[in-house]
Structure 1
Amino acid sequence: MNWTQFLLGVTAIYGIYYALNVLYDLFIHRRAPRAADGGNELTFDEDSPPERVIPEPSKRENEPTAKEGKAVISSGPLQSTGGINLKQLVSLIQNDVVEYTKAIPY
Protein backbone atom coordinates (compact mmCIF):
# COMPACT_ATOMS: atom_id res chain seq x y z
CA MET A 1 0.00 0.00 0.00
CA ASN A 2 1.45 3.36 -0.98
CA TRP A 3 0.49 6.87 0.20
CA THR A 4 -1.90 7.48 -2.68
CA GLN A 5 -3.93 4.37 -1.93
CA PHE A 6 -3.92 5.16 1.79
CA LEU A 7 -5.13 8.74 1.29
CA LEU A 8 -7.80 7.62 -1.19
CA GLY A 9 -9.01 5.03 1.32
CA VAL A 10 -9.18 7.56 4.15
CA THR A 11 -11.00 10.01 1.88
CA ALA A 12 -13.50 7.35 0.83
CA ILE A 13 -14.18 6.32 4.44
CA TYR A 14 -14.67 9.97 5.44
CA GLY A 15 -16.99 10.58 2.48
CA ILE A 16 -19.13 7.58 3.39
CA TYR A 17 -19.22 8.67 7.04
CA TYR A 18 -20.21 12.22 6.06
CA ALA A 19 -22.94 11.00 3.68
CA LEU A 20 -24.39 8.71 6.36
CA ASN A 21 -24.47 11.60 8.87
CA VAL A 22 -26.27 13.85 6.39
CA LEU A 23 -28.83 11.16 5.58
CA TYR A 24 -29.36 10.42 9.27
CA ASP A 25 -29.96 14.10 10.03
CA LEU A 26 -32.42 14.40 7.14
CA PHE A 27 -34.47 11.42 8.32
CA ILE A 28 -34.41 12.41 12.00
CA HIS A 29 -35.63 15.94 11.26
CA ARG A 30 -38.54 14.63 9.18
CA ARG A 31 -39.75 12.39 12.00
CA ALA A 32 -39.26 14.83 14.85
CA PRO A 33 -42.42 16.71 15.81
CA ARG A 34 -42.19 20.43 15.33
CA ALA A 35 -43.02 22.11 18.61
CA ALA A 36 -43.43 25.81 19.20
CA ASP A 37 -40.12 27.31 20.27
CA GLY A 38 -41.44 29.24 23.25
CA GLY A 39 -38.66 28.23 25.60
CA ASN A 40 -35.98 30.43 24.02
CA GLU A 41 -37.81 33.75 24.24
CA LEU A 42 -37.32 36.20 27.10
CA THR A 43 -40.21 38.42 28.06
CA PHE A 44 -40.40 41.12 30.71
CA ASP A 45 -43.76 42.07 32.16
CA GLU A 46 -42.82 45.19 34.09
CA ASP A 47 -42.25 48.48 32.33
CA SER A 48 -39.61 50.67 33.90
CA PRO A 49 -38.45 53.89 32.30
CA PRO A 50 -34.73 54.33 31.77
CA GLU A 51 -32.94 56.45 34.33
CA ARG A 52 -29.69 58.34 34.05
CA VAL A 53 -26.92 57.07 36.30
CA ILE A 54 -24.16 59.49 37.25
CA PRO A 55 -21.08 57.83 38.72
CA GLU A 56 -19.91 59.20 42.04
CA PRO A 57 -16.23 59.95 42.52
CA SER A 58 -14.73 57.05 44.41
CA LYS A 59 -12.30 57.32 47.28
CA ARG A 60 -8.99 55.78 46.40
CA GLU A 61 -8.01 54.20 49.67
CA ASN A 62 -5.45 51.73 48.40
CA GLU A 63 -3.36 54.13 46.34
CA PRO A 64 -0.20 55.43 48.02
CA THR A 65 0.00 59.19 48.07
CA ALA A 66 2.58 61.65 49.25
CA LYS A 67 0.09 63.01 51.82
CA GLU A 68 0.04 59.73 53.73
CA GLY A 69 3.81 59.75 54.12
CA LYS A 70 4.40 56.98 51.58
CA ALA A 71 6.67 57.70 48.65
CA VAL A 72 5.11 57.51 45.20
CA ILE A 73 7.42 55.83 42.72
CA SER A 74 7.11 56.86 39.09
CA SER A 75 8.29 54.62 36.29
CA GLY A 76 9.29 57.64 34.23
CA PRO A 77 7.92 58.83 30.93
CA LEU A 78 6.67 56.02 28.75
CA GLN A 79 6.97 56.17 24.99
CA SER A 80 6.08 53.68 22.34
CA THR A 81 6.27 53.78 18.58
CA GLY A 82 4.38 50.57 18.02
CA GLY A 83 5.55 47.07 17.26
CA ILE A 84 9.05 46.24 16.10
CA ASN A 85 10.33 43.31 14.13
CA LEU A 86 12.93 40.80 15.29
CA LYS A 87 15.82 42.53 13.53
CA GLN A 88 15.05 45.83 15.30
CA LEU A 89 14.72 43.99 18.63
CA VAL A 90 18.18 42.42 18.26
CA SER A 91 19.57 45.85 17.37
CA LEU A 92 18.01 47.41 20.49
CA ILE A 93 19.42 44.62 22.68
CA GLN A 94 22.90 45.12 21.23
CA ASN A 95 22.71 48.85 22.01
CA ASP A 96 21.69 48.08 25.64
CA VAL A 97 18.35 49.83 25.21
CA VAL A 98 16.33 46.81 26.34
CA GLU A 99 16.60 45.93 30.03
CA TYR A 100 15.76 42.36 30.94
CA THR A 101 15.48 41.05 34.46
CA LYS A 102 16.02 37.33 33.98
CA ALA A 103 17.77 35.08 31.52
CA ILE A 104 15.91 33.65 28.55
CA PRO A 105 15.79 29.84 28.81
CA TYR A 106 17.47 27.90 26.04
Structure 2
Amino acid sequence: MLTSKQRAYLRSMANGIDAIFQVGKNGVTPELRDTVHSALEARELIKVSVLDNNMLSAAEAAEMLASRTGADIVQVIGNKFVLFRQSKMKPVIELPKAKK
Protein backbone atom coordinates (compact mmCIF):
# COMPACT_ATOMS: atom_id res chain seq x y z
CA MET A 1 0.00 0.00 0.00
CA LEU A 2 1.41 3.35 -1.04
CA THR A 3 1.29 6.49 1.08
CA SER A 4 0.20 9.78 -0.47
CA LYS A 5 3.81 11.01 -0.43
CA GLN A 6 5.02 7.87 -2.24
CA ARG A 7 2.15 8.12 -4.73
CA ALA A 8 3.04 11.77 -5.46
CA TYR A 9 6.69 10.80 -5.97
CA LEU A 10 5.72 8.04 -8.43
CA ARG A 11 3.29 10.35 -10.26
CA SER A 12 6.11 12.82 -10.84
CA MET A 13 8.30 10.01 -12.22
CA ALA A 14 5.50 8.73 -14.47
CA ASN A 15 4.93 12.16 -15.97
CA GLY A 16 7.79 11.73 -18.42
CA ILE A 17 7.16 8.16 -19.57
CA ASP A 18 5.02 6.97 -22.47
CA ALA A 19 2.38 4.24 -22.39
CA ILE A 20 4.00 0.93 -23.30
CA PHE A 21 0.82 -1.17 -23.41
CA GLN A 22 -2.69 -0.74 -24.76
CA VAL A 23 -5.81 -2.46 -23.48
CA GLY A 24 -7.84 -3.15 -26.62
CA LYS A 25 -11.27 -4.53 -27.40
CA ASN A 26 -10.36 -7.95 -25.93
CA GLY A 27 -9.87 -6.38 -22.49
CA VAL A 28 -7.40 -7.73 -19.96
CA THR A 29 -6.26 -11.02 -21.45
CA PRO A 30 -3.89 -13.54 -19.81
CA GLU A 31 -1.25 -12.59 -22.38
CA LEU A 32 -1.52 -8.90 -21.46
CA ARG A 33 -1.33 -9.79 -17.77
CA ASP A 34 1.85 -11.82 -18.35
CA THR A 35 3.58 -9.09 -20.36
CA VAL A 36 2.59 -6.42 -17.81
CA HIS A 37 3.93 -8.70 -15.05
CA SER A 38 7.28 -8.99 -16.88
CA ALA A 39 7.42 -5.25 -17.56
CA LEU A 40 6.75 -4.44 -13.90
CA GLU A 41 9.59 -6.73 -12.87
CA ALA A 42 11.95 -5.00 -15.29
CA ARG A 43 10.81 -1.36 -14.98
CA GLU A 44 8.75 -1.17 -11.76
CA LEU A 45 6.72 1.79 -13.08
CA ILE A 46 4.64 1.51 -16.28
CA LYS A 47 1.95 3.49 -18.03
CA VAL A 48 -0.91 1.76 -19.87
CA SER A 49 -3.44 3.22 -22.30
CA VAL A 50 -7.04 2.02 -22.72
CA LEU A 51 -8.40 2.26 -26.26
CA ASP A 52 -11.82 3.78 -26.97
CA ASN A 53 -13.22 0.54 -28.41
CA ASN A 54 -12.83 -1.19 -25.04
CA MET A 55 -15.84 -1.91 -22.83
CA LEU A 56 -13.75 -1.26 -19.69
CA SER A 57 -12.98 2.16 -18.28
CA ALA A 58 -9.38 3.00 -17.44
CA ALA A 59 -10.13 2.64 -13.72
CA GLU A 60 -11.67 -0.82 -14.21
CA ALA A 61 -8.77 -2.01 -16.38
CA ALA A 62 -6.27 -0.63 -13.85
CA GLU A 63 -8.00 -2.43 -10.99
CA MET A 64 -8.05 -5.73 -12.91
CA LEU A 65 -4.38 -5.55 -13.92
CA ALA A 66 -3.26 -4.40 -10.47
CA SER A 67 -5.04 -7.26 -8.72
CA ARG A 68 -3.77 -9.85 -11.21
CA THR A 69 -0.14 -8.68 -11.09
CA GLY A 70 0.15 -7.60 -7.45
CA ALA A 71 0.81 -3.98 -8.42
CA ASP A 72 -0.35 -0.70 -6.91
CA ILE A 73 -2.35 1.83 -8.91
CA VAL A 74 -0.49 5.14 -8.87
CA GLN A 75 -2.99 7.18 -10.86
CA VAL A 76 -5.77 7.03 -13.42
CA ILE A 77 -6.21 10.02 -15.73
CA GLY A 78 -8.49 9.94 -18.75
CA ASN A 79 -7.78 6.76 -20.70
CA LYS A 80 -4.36 6.12 -19.14
CA PHE A 81 -3.20 4.67 -15.85
CA VAL A 82 0.08 4.07 -14.07
CA LEU A 83 1.04 0.92 -12.16
CA PHE A 84 3.92 0.35 -9.73
CA ARG A 85 5.37 -2.80 -8.23
CA GLN A 86 8.74 -3.11 -6.51
CA SER A 87 11.03 -5.53 -8.33
CA LYS A 88 11.84 -8.74 -6.48
CA MET A 89 15.22 -9.22 -8.19
CA LYS A 90 16.80 -5.77 -8.22
CA PRO A 91 14.76 -2.77 -7.03
CA VAL A 92 15.53 0.40 -8.97
CA ILE A 93 13.08 2.96 -7.59
CA GLU A 94 13.61 3.98 -3.98
CA LEU A 95 10.39 5.30 -2.46
CA PRO A 96 10.28 7.97 0.24
CA LYS A 97 10.01 6.37 3.67
CA ALA A 98 6.57 6.20 5.25
CA LYS A 99 6.17 7.92 8.63
CA LYS A 100 5.38 5.69 11.55
Normalised to the residue count of structure 2, the TM-score between the two structures is 0.20
Q: Tell which has more relative contact order, 1 or 2 (C-alpha 8 A, sep 6+).
A: 2
The structure number with the bigger radius of gyration is 1
Q: Which structure has the highest strand share of the two?
A: 2
Q: TM-score, normalised by structure 1?
A: 0.19
